[in-house]
Structure 1
Amino acid sequence: MFVSDCLNVNLRGHLTIGGCDTLELAEQFGTPLYVMDEATITQNCRKYVESIGTYYNSRGRVYYASKAFCCKEICRIMENAGMGLDVVSGGELYTAMSVGFPADRICFHGNNKTPGEINYALDCGVGRFVVDNLTELALLNTLALARNKKPSVLFRIKPGIDAHTHNFIRTGQIDSKFGLALETGEAEEAVRQAVALPGVSLTGMHCHIGSQIFDIAPFELAAEVMVNFMADMRDRHGADLTELNLGGGFGIQYVPGQNPVPYDRYMQAVSETVKKTCEARDMETPFIMLEPGRSIVASAGITLYTVGAVKDIPGVRTYVSVDGGMGDNPRYALYQAEYAAVVAGKAAEKPTETVTIAGKCCESGDLIQEHTAIQPVQAGDILAVFATGAYNYSMASNYNRIPRPATVMIRDRQPRVIIRRESFEDLVRNDV
């Protein structure tokens, strides 16, 4: 029934997370409320870190994709877990630096980094820039020389793999705002330019083939394509490429019936492809980097809501309105993302009602899930939506001037606030 091991039902029939009664959490901290289990997060980190040791002889590093969920406390947790950080904006970088995260363990991504962001990252001493395009390469070289720096650079490559249709079309992903294309010669031209530039040190390649992928084969094919490209660039341009970042995109279970492959199986299969291809091209196995985000934090989080009106339209549907919505979880409105939900105080009961969970925004598309099965529900009940630890808080907005929820982290059955609930005063703080 549940999509995470941190969820359970206590003797009162209430949903628990990290051993804490969700009704008590709702009463103590209010709703809407993001709740996350630290043990699940650290356990997921440990699996990835250990897999680098097992399959790559510890020659690699796992970078948490902070766009999934970014705040000061998650940066602290990642540092303690031995993780690196993947940041995609000056704001994410500032968050990491504000808690003293080691800059040499940060990769700076983004398809349109501003000069201000690049200068800030250079001043911070970030470990690697993942360069998206030729314009950025020239800009980074100029700014680095002005600061007497020579940052390590990886190029983001489009490996030509359509992981979502599983057709593995090698040219299918050329139409993307991210990265340099192999098919057009753009990626090779970037290498040719970079090896001659005095302000950057080209050390490797990066790719990311998509998100929420359940198959291993696309990752294996991407690894093969990338290693071969690296070997080609060595042979044609003398590029000394020693690092390979294979990105993220590992699928997680949002609803019952989804069966993601265990992460160590991904790691084992891809490592075998990397080693086999390196051997065939007479190339030393590169330093391997990964960038999981969703698969580390999504299943560790839930969102608690208080039910308001229950509106039954005979022969049509039943709307269950909650005190949040697309402001704190826009993923259903954006792309019909699947979620499972439960009436937290009746978690031991069977779901017997089919409802549409609606938010409070003045927007007809403000829905969290349609035609989903939950227990009998009435006004005042607490509703829990599962697997909201990724891309919920990080994509939240103040649409309709609704304050964003608080976030509570649980460790050893003790909840603590890691992001305060916004107030009405927060909403007007920057108004003039």
Structure 2
Amino acid sequence: MFTLKEEPLAVTDRIEGLCRCAARWFAVFLTAALITLQPGLSLAESGEDQQAIDSSQREGAFTSPDSVGNLLSSNREEKSAFYGLRPFEPWREWKEKVHQNTGIQFNIDYNSLGFKASDSLGDDSAAGGVLRFYGKWLLTGGDTNDTGSLIFKVENRHAYGDLAPREYGFELGYVGVMNCCYSDQGTRGSNLYWRQSFNDQRVVTYAGFIDSTEFIDAYPLASPWTGFSNLVFATGSASIGGLPDGAMGAMAAVWVTDSVYVIGGITDANVDQTDFFRGFDTFFNDFETIKNIDIHWTPKREDLFFNNTHITFWQIDEAEEAGTDSGYGVAVSFTRAADNKFLPFIRGGWSKDGGSILEASLSVGFGYQDQDVSGAGLLGIGLNWGRPNEDTFGVELDDQYTAEVFYRWQILQDLELTPSIQLLVDPALNPDEDLITVVGLRARVVF
């Protein structure tokens, strides 16, 4: 389905042309929407059906659960925890007073992850942690529907030993990333941008140092902090090259009709999050960028994130400092909420060069959550087929298969534990192994 080498040349040429015109599409859609959008349409908050599956979408359902606004909203909500203890309640009350007096909301969370494999070419275990400080400062439009806020996020990513979880997949001979975020990068910047909404929130824009994974190919279970861990079940299905966070750029999301909205963005492809402000130089002087256009459809506005079909076109320039070739591709996603508890999904992507891990990828699975149960946890099950990108690895590798099962257990209001199992079938760089089993444990505490 996604191996366009077998399709007519005209199809490939058409996709390339669409991707390379992404910036012009973005401008056209934005201009048209500002002129033609009908009154009364607004960026929807999550409806009751969505809350029954996950309650992470509040600031704008077009963004991922990991956007700062959605994190802040989710962390303020009452959760169905297994234990009713609230050890940080005085601290939460003080933060709320700060918010009321200054317009500043913030959180601190600490995240920890460990993996242990049944077999490895090198180390059979990896572990690391991430300390995050993030928030937003509401500065304009506080008494209106259209607001302007400064968004910020700073992190410290560290390994507990010699090997961080981010590099763990290749240690096993697996072509992939077991978790994209638990590296040994140290202190880094992830967000520093201005978020502005217009026209009763029918248009939302970002400008500054942004995280492209918040709005490109987003869906509810993509979070490496609270959802699936493996990159094949996250943004881009491991088939999109680039996707930096902390990158200089801009994004706009626009409602075109009651059921269709469009997201366009452009970000710097040469990113060093540990030298945050150097992005001014690389973006404006080198101007080697990744561009995207996401076109979304939903049956009704209130369900736009959970009942969602979208297609993503992307293109990346050759990035000299990042050491990646130019490329382009397409990703697709389909999710439908069922019975207020289930969220099945079908997702995939195809790429031509561009430094992606996989040339073609297809994932199916579902999430399940019953909010009526005390300590309601999120169960996720996913299966993936992937073809490694020959351009990235310089050699044609065999297809490989991945399965992941996780259960996120809400122990306290501010404490989650997530055990997981990943099955790596026919790892492409370890042909002597047919199956590697990886057991994981992730923890997150919010202050």
Give TM class, smaller chain: under 0.3
Decide which structure has greater helix share: 1
Larger radius of gyration: 1
State the TM-score, normalized to the length of structure 1. 0.25
- Greater relative contact order structure (CA < 8 Å, 6+ sep): 1
With normalisation by structure 2, the TM-score equals 0.25
Whose strand proportion is higher, 1 or 2? 2
